[in-house]
A and B are shown apart, each in its own frame.
Chain A
Amino acid sequence: MTCCVVRHAWLCAPLVLSGGLALTMLASLGLDVKRSARAARWLLLVSIAAALAVLAPTGGAAGALLRQDGAAVLWQAVFLVAAIPLAALMPLSSEVPALLLLAALAGMTLLAAANHLILFFLALELMSLPSYLLVYRLGRDKRALEAALKYFFAGSVGSAMFLFGVSLFYSLTGTLSMEPLGITSPRLELSLVLMGAGALFKVGAAPLHFWLPDVYEASAPELVGFFSTGVKSAALLFLFRVLLLLPPATGGLGTWLPYVSVATMTWGNLLALRQTSLQRLLAYSSIAHVGYLLLGVWAWNETRPLAGGGGVSAPVFLYAAAYLFMSTGAFLALRLGGLKDRKQLAGFGRRRPSLAAFLTLMLLSLASIPPTGGFLAKFLIFWEAIKAGGAGLTVVAAANSIVGLGYYFGLIRDLYLSEPGPATAEDPGPMAWGPRALAFACAVPTLVLGLWPGALGLAAQWLAK
Chain B
Amino acid sequence: MGPLTRLWLFPAVAALAAWLAPSRKSSRAVALAASALAFGYSLWLLVPFSAGSGALRLEELWSAGSELGLRYRVGVDGLSLSLCWLTTLLTLLGLAGSGSHERENGYWAAFLALEAGLLGLFVVQNLFYFYLFWEIILLPMFFIIGLWGSDNRRYAAYKFLLYTFLGSLFLLVGFIALPTYHHAATGKWTFDIPELARTALDPKASPWLYAAIALGFAVKIPVLPLHNWLPDAHTEAPAAGSVLLAGVMLKAGVYGFLRILLPVFPDVSAAALPWLGGLGVANILYGALCAMAQGDLKRLVAYTSISHLGFCLVGMFSMTGEGLAGASLQMLNHGLSTGALFLMIGMVYERVHRRGVDDFGGLADVAPWLAFFFAFTLLSSIGLPGLNGFVGEMLSLLGMARVCGLLAGLGVLGTILAACYALPAFQKVFWAPAGAGSATSKMTDLTLGERSILWTLAALILWLGVYPQPMLALLEPSLTPLVLQR
Contact = CB atoms under 8 A, between A and B. Distances in A.
Question: Do A and B bind?
Answer: yes
Contacts of B68: 453, 456-457
A50 interface: no
A402 B153 CA distance: 21
A371 B136 contact: yes
A138 B16 CA distance: 39
Most buried by B among A383, A394, A456: A383
Interface in B135-157: 135-136, 138-139, 142-143, 146-147, 153-154, 157
A454 B157 contact: no
B431 interface: no
Interface string A450-465: 0001101100000000
Contact of A398 (B139, B153, B173): B173
A406 B162 contact: yes
B463 interface: no
Interface string A399-419: 101100110011001001110
Contact of B173 (A370, A394, A417): A394
A369 B161 contact: no
Contact of B67 (A369, A398, A417, A457): A457
B132 interface: yes
Contacts of B437: none
Given A386-B180, A453-B65, A456-B68, A416 B136 contact: no
A380 to B, nearest CB: 9
A336 B143 CA distance: 24
A417 B132 contact: no
Contacts of A401: 169
B128 A382 contact: no
Given A413-B146, A417-B154, A382 B173 contact: yes
A395 B147 contact: no
Contacts of A375: 132, 135
Contacts of A454: 64-65
A124 to B, nearest CB: 35
Given A379-B172, A416-B146, A370 B177 contact: no
A382 B142 CA distance: 26
A418 B170 CA distance: 30
A417 B153 contact: yes
B131 interface: yes
Contacts of B153: 417
Given A375-B135, A379-B172, A405-B165, A417 B157 contact: yes
Instruction: For chain A, give the interface size range.
Output: 20 to 34
A11 B224 CA distance: 66
A401 B143 CA distance: 20
Given A371-B132, A453-B128, A454-B65, A382 B172 contact: yes
A457 B177 CA distance: 20
A364 interface: yes
B293 interface: no
B376 interface: no
A391 interface: yes
B136 A370 contact: yes
A402 B166 contact: yes
Most buried by A among B68, B143, B153: B68
A387 interface: yes
Contacts of B157: 413, 417
Instruction: For chain B, give the interface size range.
Output: 20 to 34
Interface in B151-193: 153-154, 157-158, 161-162, 165-166, 169-170, 172-173, 176-177, 180
Interface string B446-460: 000000000000000
B70 interface: yes
Contact of B161 (A379, A409, A418): A409
Given A417-B147, A417-B157, A398 B169 contact: yes
A416 B143 contact: yes
A286 to B, nearest CB: 21
B303 to A, nearest CB: 26
Contacts of A399: 169
Nearest to B170: A398
B189 to A, nearest CB: 10
Contacts of A370: 131-132, 135-136
Interface in B98-146: 128, 131-132, 135-136, 138-139, 142-143, 146
A402 B165 contact: yes
Contacts of A457: 65, 67-68
Contacts of B128: 379, 453
Contacts of A416: 143, 146-147
A401 B172 CA distance: 11
A370 B137 CA distance: 10
Contacts of A409: 142, 158, 161-162
B125 to A, nearest CB: 16
Given A364-B139, A417-B147, A456-B68, A383 B154 contact: no
Given A370-B135, A398-B169, A453-B68, A405 B154 contact: no
Given A386-B180, A413-B154, A453-B70, A398 B172 contact: yes
A409 B147 CA distance: 14
A456 B176 CA distance: 16
B147 A402 contact: no
A383 B161 contact: no
A14 B64 CA distance: 36
A369 B147 CA distance: 20
Contacts of A394: 173, 176
Given A370-B136, A405-B165, A386 B65 contact: no
Interface string A340-371: 00000000000000000000000010000111
Contacts of B139: 364, 369
A448 to B, nearest CB: 13
Contact of B135 (A369, A387, A417): A369
Contacts of A382: 172-173, 176
A355 B142 CA distance: 20
B132 A383 contact: no
30 contacts: A364-B139, A369-B135, A370-B131, A370-B135, A375-B135, A379-B172, A379-B176, A382-B176, A383-B180, A394-B173, A395-B170, A398-B173, A399-B169, A402-B162, A402-B169, A405-B162, A406-B162, A409-B158, A409-B161, A413-B157, A413-B158, A416-B146, A416-B147, A417-B147, A453-B68, A453-B70, A454-B64, A454-B65, A457-B67, A457-B68
The 3 residue pairs across chains A and B that have the minimum distance between CB atoms: A398-B169, A453-B70, A453-B65
Given A379-B131, A379-B176, A382-B172, 4 more contacts: A370-B132, A386-B173, A394-B176, A409-B161
